[in-house]
Structure 1
Amino acid sequence: MLLLLSDFFSCSYFEALCRGKSPPVREQSGQVGLCNWAELTPELLKTLHSRVAGRLIIHVDELAQMWKALNLPTDLFNSVMNVGHFMEEIEWLKFLVLACSALGVTITKTLKIVCEVLSCNHGPPQIPFSTFQFLYTYIAEVDGEISASHVSRMLSYIEQEIIGPNGIITVNDFTQNPRVRLE
C-alpha cells in the first residue's frame, strides 16, 4: 500500500510506539499543530468503546466519525488504520488494542490499558481470558518481535496456573507475576 508522505511519519511514529521504541520526532515546519486536538487517554478510549456498544465489527466511516467527535488526532486514527491494515469493516478489538498501544508503549502496558478500557467492574480491571488471549496473540503478531512459541507458552502458563474456574484474568495476573513475561 502506498502511503502519502504525511501518513509516513504517522505510521513510523505509531509503529515505534507499538514496538516499545522511541518514536521519531517531527521537525517544526510551520504546519498547523495538533494543539486543538484532544490527547488520547484511556478514558477517551473507554468512551469510544462504550459508543461502539458491544459490536465486534464497525464500519470505518462510523468509527472515524466517533473518533472525530471525541476530537482525537486524525493522524493517529490513520496510523492505527495503516498498522492494522483495516479496510471498510474493522474488527473493533483489534483497532482498540492498537489504539491502546499508542499509550502503552510495551505489550504488557498496552494489555493493561486495554483491560482497563474493557473492564466493566469497579474493582481491579479484569476481562475474560479468551479476550486476553485474542488481544495478546494479535498485538504480539503485529509487534513481530515476539515468537509465536513464546506467546503460546505464556498463554498456556496463564491458563493452567493462574486463571480460575471463572475464566477471568486481572491486570495483576500478568503485571505482578514474575513468571509471566509477555514481551
Structure 2
Amino acid sequence: MPLPDTMYCAQQINIPPELPDILKNFTKAAIRTQPPDLLLWSAAYFTALSKGEPLPVKDRVEMNIATQKTNTGLTPRLLKVLHKETCCKEKLQEKWRVLSLPMDQLATLLLLGNFSSTINWMEFFALSCSSLGGNIKTALKFACEILTEDEEGGPARIPFDTFVKLYTYLAHLDGDIPQDQIDSFLRNMQTQVDKQNGMIQERGRPTEERKEGIKGTN
C-alpha cells in the first residue's frame, strides 16, 4: 500500500530569514542585466555570491536605442561588469560566455592585442573601449565614464597616470601617430590637469588668504 502524501502546515516549513532578500536582489539583478541565457548567468551569479566575488551584474538596464535590443554585443556597462576584477584569459572567456557576448568578438580583441594566456587587463580594457568608440577620443571617453568614481553625469575624472597609460597604448596600437605628437598631446593634457588642480586648491583656501595671494601677484 503506497504511503500517503506528506502534508505540511505553514508552521512545519522553515524558511531561512535571508531567502526573501536573496531572491529579491537576484530578481533585480536579472532585470538590470537582461542576460540572454538566464540559466547560465544565474549559475554564475550564485557562484560569485557564494564565493564573495564581484557579481556579473549591470548597474542598470542598457538598451540599444536604434535596435531596441539588449544583446547587441559588448556595451559600456557590460565592459564595466567585466572590469570588476582582473582575470586571466581562461577566466575572461568564462565571464564573456556567461554574459552571452559573441565569442568571435572576444577572439578578435585577443588577436588584435596579441594577448597570451596572461592578459594585461588595462590593455585589453583600452582595446575594448576602442571597439566601442571607433577612435581614440571616443574610446577614452568611454574609459573615463567606466573607470570614474564620480557620480553619473559628473565630470568622469580618472587618475592622470591611468589616462596616460590608456592613451599611450591605443596611440601605439594605432601605429599612425608619431611619438612626438603623442608626447605633445600628453604635455598639453598635463598642463590642463595642473591648471585645474591649481584652481581647485585656490578655491579651497580661505577668502582672506586668496585675497592676499592675488595682491602678491600685482
* In structure 1, C-alpha distance between the alignment counterparts of 2:169 and 2:114, rounded to whole Å: 13
* In structure 2, C-alpha distance between the alignment counterparts of 1:87 and 1:80, rounded to whole Å: 12
Does the residue aligned with 2:150 lie in a helix, a strand or coil? coil
Counterpart of 1:73 (choices 102, 106, 109) is 102
**What amino acid is the match of 2:148?**
S
* Alpha-carbon offset, residue 37 of structure 1: 5.2
* In structure 2, C-alpha distance between the alignment counterparts of 1:45 and 1:161, rounded to whole Å: 28
1:99-121 deviation digits (Å, cap 9, x = unpaired):
11111011000000011111122
What is the TM-score when the length of structure 1 is the normalising length? 0.65
Q: Does 1:86 align with 2:115?
A: yes
* In structure 2, C-alpha distance between the alignment counterparts of 1:64 and 1:87, rounded to whole Å: 13
Q: Taking CA–CA contacts closer than 8 Å with sequence separation of 6 or more, which of the two structures ends up with the larger relative contact order?
A: 1
Which of the pair is proportionally richer in helix? Answer: 2
Structural mapping, 1:49-128, within 5 Å: 49-50=83-84, 52=85, 55=86, 58-122=87-151, 123-128=154-159
What is the TM-score when the length of structure 2 is the normalising length? 0.55
Aligned to 1:150: 181
* In structure 2, C-alpha distance between the alignment counterparts of 1:87 and 1:37, rounded to whole Å: 27
Which of the pair is proportionally richer in strand? Answer: 1
User: May I ask how many residue pairs the two structures share in their alignment?
Assistant: 127
Identity of aligned residues (%): 36
Counterpart of 2:75 (choices 41, 54, 57) is 41
Is residue 38–residue 71 contact of structure 1 (8 Å, CA) maintained in 2? no
**What amino acid is the match of 2:143?**
V
- Structure 1: unaligned runs, 5 residues or longer: 1-34, 167-183
Superposed structure 1 runs of 4+ greater than 3 Å apart: 35-38, 161-166
**What amino acid is the match of 2:102?**
P
Aligned to 2:166: 135
With over 3 angstroms needed to count, the CA separation of the structure-2 counterparts of 1:135 and 1:36, relative to structure 1, is closer
* In structure 1, C-alpha distance between the alignment counterparts of 2:95 and 2:160, rounded to whole Å: 28
Is residue 97–residue 110 contact of structure 1 (8 Å, CA) maintained in 2? yes
1:6-62 deviation digits (Å, cap 9, x = unpaired):
xxxxxxxxxxxxxxxxxxxxxxxxxxxxx9954221111111112x1xx4xx31000
Does the residue aligned with 1:90 lie in a helix, a strand or coil? coil
1:114-143 deviation digits (Å, cap 9, x = unpaired):
111111220221110000000000000001
Question: What's the Cα RMSD here?
Answer: 1.9
**What amino acid is the match of 1:109?**
T
* In structure 2, C-alpha distance between the alignment counterparts of 1:131 and 1:100, rounded to whole Å: 14
